Amino acid sequence: MQEIRQMSKQHDSGVRIHKLIGKKVLASNGKEVGTIMEIRLDPVTLNLDGIEMDRGFFGTDTFIGRKYITSLSEDGAVLNMSPVSDYKGLKVFDSSGKEVGTVKEVRTEGHTNNVSAIVVGTGILKNDAVFSRSDVKGVGESIMLNVLVDTNTVKVGGRSR
């Protein structure tokens, strides 16, 4: 049996888990997306499994798996992606460049970061539009669709009904 010894500096170089609780979680774009609530370890290997993130009063607590974490330090965590819930509020443009509206809701496949559809508010007196993932051409500071949109009709999956 090994004896217990005083900890040397080389063994003190890791991150202390209890100091991570309440620290910031940053997306790859530098935006703060939440705070660390819990750290999960694999019970067999004792390796990091992921973090449980608090998204604030109006957000949903989210588990972030290890493969999405770029770094973990006493300052917090940095992710290698941006949560798709950050798409909420982005302007949406159709394939002609005409503004369609603003993202009101992001629908995902279960509890993943995979988008299945976006719901776009097209104006106060107009209907919301639902566009499937296949209707989205690109995402940046706004969302570009690969379809033409008539905002005067109800849309389902980006197509007039």
d(CA 53, CA 26): 11
Residue 26 phi/psi, 5° resolution?
-110, 140
d(CA 37, CA 28): 19
* Residue closest to 99 by CA, chosen among 132, 136, 145, 138: 145
Residue 40 phi/psi, 5° resolution?
-110, 130
pLDDT for 13 equals: 67
User: What pLDDT digit, counting tens, does each position of 60-118 carry?
Assistant: 778 889 999 999 988 999 999 877 878 889 999 999 999 999 999 989 887 777 889 99
pLDDT for 1 equals: 58
User: What pLDDT digit, counting tens, does each position of 42-57 carry?
Assistant: 999 999 999 999 887 7
Is residue 107 within 8 Å of residue 67, measured between CB atoms?
no
Set out the domains of the chain in order of their start, with CATH numbers.
17-79 (2.30.30.240), 84-160 (2.30.30.240)
pLDDT for 62 equals: 82
Whether 140 has a pLDDT exceeding 90, the answer reads: no
pLDDT for 39 equals: 94
